[in-house]
Structure 1
Amino acid sequence: MMVDSPDAAQHGLLSAELLLRPGKTANAFEETVQRLLQTIRLGLIAPGEKLPAERELAAMLSVSRDTLREAIAALTEAGYVLSRRGRYGGTFVVDPVPRGTPTVGANGELRERREVPVAEIEDTIVLRSILECGAARQAAMCELSGVDRERLWQALEDCRDAAPSDYRRHDSRLHLLIAELVGSPSLVPLVADVRMRVNELLDDIPLLAPNIAHSNEQHEAIVRAILRGNPDAAAEAMSEHIAGSEALLRGFLG
């Protein structure tokens, strides 16, 4: 049995301040806007594609249809979606999707952040490493079905074939799929959140052909390790991939 040292007893191994701090203030409207933005900006609904019907989408998000309409109205005003009437109408993602990741203001309006604090950049880098390396390791330990193995390989092919303007969308889809294959419902939203933060930072960095080629080589190493069922190799390949992005962020953003 572990015995606490006098110093540990005096100062505490963990400070209560870690948890006794303000939580997220997001209400149902803000949460709905955030989830819709993630779905759009991470490419789960591609530019030009139609959102699910209102009743279905409200059920998926567990919100009222009034809240959903308010969220869609905010996204429409910000230029992320548009509505079309008629037989083939509905709400569609605009093409192209606006750059940047807006935040929800005090009055419910969407506004673009002008600057990301350095501390948040560091936090994003650390959090991404923990989440995505762990996801790759765990995915390699899973018994993947033939369908899931095909989905993973197809996501890799989509990255290889993507035009530079569409690359980050397919990149995000591959990383989210790896998290999904783990089978933990709590993991995917966490990875989606950190991917949004990473993409917000990467949007300020030129997307160069050599970087894309190198990224695709690393993606292949990750996917092959997962398909072979090699957790250590999958985590190592993901760590190398993330380190490359980290070097870009530190080089361009300081």
Structure 2
Amino acid sequence: MPDHPPPHSLGRTVYRPVRGGNALEDTVARLVQTVRLGVVAPGESLPSERDLAERYGVSRDTVRQAIAELADAGFVVRRRGRYGGTFVADPLPRPAEPVPIDRAELDDVLGLRRVLEAGAARAAASLDLTDAARSSLHERHAAVAGAEESDYRRLDSLLHLTIAEVSGIPSLLPLVVENRARINAWLDTFPLLPRNIEHSDAQHERIVGTILGGRPDAAEAAVLDHLAGSEALLRGFLT
């Protein structure tokens, strides 16, 4: 499936070194995060085991075990031969039953998302963005606007992550990545709604337009309005 590669800083964020105490568990979690966020699309290959080991700062054996766990769970498929490697499952597995949600946890994650993503949009709109940053926003917006339903949530996530990337606050992106991965795990438990996609597309256009137009207040307000819609769906389906 043709697609724009992930932004460089996003790639560095999802493939950053893991903590030493729980190397296997953290490697599994980081790979799941990469899949959940759509950094590697269904059907596309993950980096090699050697490359992942170097990026995560763990042994190849740890990477191999982590991949085996994900293969058993249906998230990846391993193929041998000249064109072999580890590929993201297509389609990805869906939960058999709704994930139990604690209301306090949901409130916490959604509240943090409002702070992080609205702040990222405000910061990005306050900057004199480079041509590369502006082009990245245009491309991500165009990709999600023209997305097929099966790929919509993945490309939607990449647009939001790109906004965080161009915000000019490097430490913000890892926080948005972790928060967004938790949100996506919940979103994947219920179907897309066609009218919601139309509404989201219009909101995305407003968000990107206000950022590129250098209007921080409007960009923040546009993101908060957009997040309120998905928050209502999450609360409706999960609680």
What TM-score, normalized by structure 1, do the two folds share? 0.81
Task: Tell me the CA shift for residue 58 of structure 1.
Answer: 1.4
Q: Report the structure number with the largest CA radius of gyration.
A: 1
Q: Deviations over 1:174-196 (max 9, x none)?
A: 11111111243322221112112
Aligned to 2:5: none
Q: Secondary structure at the match of 1:91?
A: strand
Aligned to 2:153: 168
Q: More relative contact order in 1 or in 2 (CA 8 Å, sep 6+)?
A: 2
Given the superposition, is the C-alpha separation of residues 192 and 70 from structure 1 closer, same or farther in structure 2, using an over 3 Å criterion? same
Q: Secondary structure at the match of 2:175?
A: helix
Q: For 1:194, which of 172, 176, 179 is the aligned residue?
A: 179
Q: For 2:209, which of 213, 218, 224 is the aligned residue?
A: 224
Which letter does structure 2 place at the counterpart of 1:184? I
Q: Secondary structure at the match of 1:205?
A: coil
CA distance in 1, matches of 2:163, 2:100: 30
Aligned to 1:64: 59
Task: Tell me the CA shift for residue 26 of structure 1.
Answer: 6.8
Aligned to 2:135: 150
5+ long unaligned stretches in structure 1:
1-23, 102-111
Task: Tell me the CA shift for residue 113 of structure 1.
Answer: 8.0
CA contact 1:100–1:200 (8 Å) conserved in 2: no
CA contact 1:179–1:187 (8 Å) conserved in 2: yes
| 1:122 partnered with 2:114 | no
CA distance in 1, matches of 2:172, 2:221: 20
Given the superposition, is the C-alpha separation of residues 72 and 175 from structure 1 closer, same or farther in structure 2, using an over 3 Å criterion? same
Task: Tell me the CA shift for residue 143 of structure 1.
Answer: 2.7
CA contact 1:51–1:92 (8 Å) conserved in 2: yes
Q: Secondary structure at the match of 1:92?
A: strand
Q: Secondary structure at the match of 2:128?
A: coil
Instruction: Tell which deviates more after alignment, 173-182 or 191-200.
Output: 191-200
Given the superposition, is the C-alpha separation of residues 80 and 222 from structure 1 closer, same or farther in structure 2, using an over 3 Å criterion? same
Instruction: Tell which deviates more after alignment, 195-204 or 30-39.
Output: 195-204
| 1:38 partnered with 2:33 | yes
CA distance in 2, matches of 1:217, 1:37: 30
CA distance in 2, matches of 1:25, 1:85: 30
Alignment of 1:1-254 (within 5 A): 27-100=22-95, 114-254=99-239
Task: Tell me the CA shift for residue 216 of structure 1.
Answer: 0.8
CA distance in 1, matches of 2:159, 2:231: 18
Which letter does structure 2 place at the counterpart of 1:92? F
Which letter does structure 1 place at the counterpart of 2:26? E
Which letter does structure 2 place at the counterpart of 1:149? R
CA contact 2:37–2:158 (8 Å) conserved in 1: yes
What TM-score, normalized by structure 2, do the two folds share? 0.86
CA contact 2:36–2:185 (8 Å) conserved in 1: no
CA distance in 1, matches of 2:185, 2:152: 14
Q: Secondary structure at the match of 2:166?
A: helix
Q: Secondary structure at the match of 2:151?
A: helix
Task: Tell me the CA shift for residue 100 of structure 1.
Answer: 4.3
Which letter does structure 2 place at the counterpart of 1:51? L
Q: Secondary structure at the match of 1:171?
A: helix
Corresponding pairs, count: 221
5+ long unaligned stretches in structure 2:
1-18
